[in-house]
Amino acid sequence: MDRPTEEHSDAAPHGRKGPKGVPLRLRRRGSFVLAGLGAYLLFLLLRARPGGSILDALVAWGQWGSGVVGRMASGVPIPLAELLAVLLLVRWIWGWARDGLRARRAQEGTLKPMCAGGLRVVGDLGLLVFFFYALWGFAYAQESLPERVGLDTDPLQTSELRALTHEMIQAANEEYLRIHGVPDAGEPTSAPGGVGTLLPALTVGWQGAARELGISSLQREAFAGPRPMVLGSFVRRLGISGMYVPFTGEALVLPDLPAVALGKALAHEGAHQRGIAFEDDANFAGFVAASYAPEPRVRYSAYVFAQRQLMGALGVVDPEARDVLLRQRLPGVRRDLENLRTYWRVVEGPAMEMGSRVNDAYLRRQGVPEGVASYGASLTTLVRYARARDGTLLPRPEFADGEASGGNAVMSGETDWMGGGEGP
């Protein structure tokens, strides 16, 4: 007797499921995109009408949240932001590979895994945008720091530029002599112990800045201190000396940044941690904090930064005076600045140009029409700040020694790119 012929079929045996296809997860990923879009639209609405209790509450909540995350991140031996960035890239690459394998097993072709991978990236970016604004980005809707402290808006005078440039050159020379004891140490200034040795002085400096500017939130100690990057060699090629990552509350700086720029870079990123979003405002607030630090290397970095900005402006309106003042720099200061220029010169290239363009586009998207040129705009604030203080940028003893500011602050209102716009 003949046996029945067995039919062959590609269908899975009864009771067993076939290979899983590629899930698109449109609802979940779409909700992430909508969350990011909603946060951005709220930012645009708040930016159109700066000020108000809602904006203040959102900024305060973001500072608290990023501070909590930052303190947790400080317990990780390496910057958590860099670790998460690597893990995010691994997630995207692994997701595409896994979806491709699933599609092959389920005979779904190549279009669906490509769509799934794209949706995964877009969904993740939507979620990042949401947390960016929730933890920090709404600060871009606030008034600028000069408006908050009540600085005037009168045009800058050439005489002011000359006087302040001379003051900052002399101040930097004095700090150099405090550090080395001689006009030229024969080698670039270093910071023994690196970032960690400068942070306690900056904590004191922020207390002085809070009293000077009348902004009490600047002296909060609920922040993880800036820390050196692990991937610094890559970031340096982008022309970036430091960055603030609101997702982890971490302020990061290049580990090998020359000491002549390190103190100011730490203060700049510390300003971002304290809710100061605009780059020129962070430059200004960072300068004030660094000038009040009880550590000559930090003050030296601040004064060199200020004189370079002033020198750049003075060279436009009075090049002869600039040339005369340039010759007043100590040989050791000139050595440090040449070392800083060499530090950046050796990594110039397409990557640095790309980094500048990305940063420029990011700043313009946050309502900074000048883009990366805004880094140099702190020059105007520095001059107007000095104007409100009898023509000086040097710290006031009454604020440096811890006395209450009372009504003597500049204004009793509220209870790192490598450096655009700088001179030689």
pLDDT 10s digits, 387-409: 999 999 999 988 875 433 333 34
Dihedral of alpha carbons 77, 80, 84, 85, sign? negative
Alpha-carbon distance of 267 to 409, in angstroms, equals 20
| Domain-ending residue, one of 100, 122, 141 | 141
Write the DSSP assignment of 319-383 as a string of letters.
HHHHHHHHTTS-HHHHHHHHHHHHHHHTT-SHHHHHHHHHHHHHHHHTT-TTGGGGGGGHHHHHH
Q: Are residues 173 and 50 in the same domain?
A: no
Token pair 């000020």 is at which residue? 51
The 10s digit of each residue's pLDDT in 72-83 is 888 888 899 999
Is 315 a domain residue? yes
Is 305 a domain residue? yes
Is 5 a domain residue? no
Give the model's pLDDT for residue 406. 35
Q: Are residues 96 and 177 in the same domain?
A: no
Report the phi/psi class of residue 109: left, alpha or beta, with left for phi > 0 and alpha for psi in -120 to 50. left
Look up residue 417 and give its DSSP letter: B
Alpha-carbon distance of 260 to 299, in angstroms, equals 10
Dihedral of alpha carbons 40, 45, 46, 52, sign? negative
Write the DSSP assignment of 27-82 as a string of letters.
HHHHHHHHHHHHHHHHHHHHHHS--SHHHHHHHHHHHHHHHHHHHHHTTSSS-HHH
Q: Are residues 173 and 74 in the same domain?
A: no
| Beta pairing partners, 244 | 251
Strand 227-228 with 250-253, pairing? parallel
Percent of the chain with pLDDT over 70: 84
| Domain-ending residue, one of 106, 141, 176 | 141
The 10s digit of each residue's pLDDT in 49-69 is 877 789 989 988 888 888 888
Q: Are residues 122 and 168 in the same domain?
A: no
Burial of 80 (0-12, 13-18, 19+ CB in 10 A): buried
Is 75 a domain residue? yes
Is 180 a domain residue? yes
Provide the domain limits for residue 331: 149-400
Burial of 75 (0-12, 13-18, 19+ CB in 10 A): exposed
Strands in 227-228's sheet, in edge-to-edge order, are: 227-228, 250-253, 242-245
- Which of 313, 55, 284, 266 has the alpha carbon at shortest distance from 147? 284
SS3 316: helix
Q: Are residues 79 and 121 in the same domain?
A: yes
> Which positions ≥6 away from 215 have C-beta within 8 Å?
148, 149, 209, 413, 414
Mean residue pLDDT across the chain? 84
- The total of structural domains in the chain comes to 2
Q: Are residues 130 and 159 in the same domain?
A: no
Q: Are residues 167 and 116 in the same domain?
A: no
> Which positions ≥6 away from 37 have C-beta within 8 Å?
126, 129
Q: Are residues 119 and 193 in the same domain?
A: no
* Phi and psi, residue 302, nearest 5°: -65, -45
Q: Are residues 264 and 354 in the same domain?
A: yes
Q: Are 229 and 235 in contact (CB under 8 A)?
A: yes
- Which of 182, 204, 128 has the alpha carbon at shortest distance from 395? 204
Is 7 a domain residue? no
The 10s digit of each residue's pLDDT in 233-281 is 888 888 889 999 999 999 999 999 999 999 999 999 999 988 899 989 9
Tell how many helices (H) and how many strands (E) occur in the chain. Answer: 16, 3
Q: Are residues 137 and 154 in the same domain?
A: no
SS3 294: coil
Is 345 a domain residue? yes
Of the ranges 89-103, 164-178, 293-307, which one carries the lowest mean pLDDT score?
A: 89-103
Q: Are residues 251 and 364 in the same domain?
A: yes
- Which of 138, 92, 153 has the alpha carbon at shortest distance from 117? 92
pTM, two decimals, is: 0.84
Q: Are 151 and 410 in contact (CB under 8 A)?
A: yes
Tell me how far CA of residue 192 lies from CA of 74, 115, 195, in angstroms. Answer: 22, 51, 9
Q: Are residues 272 and 312 in the same domain?
A: yes
| Domain-ending residue, one of 141, 163, 190 | 141
Is 405 a domain residue? no
Quick check: 222 pLDDT over 60? no
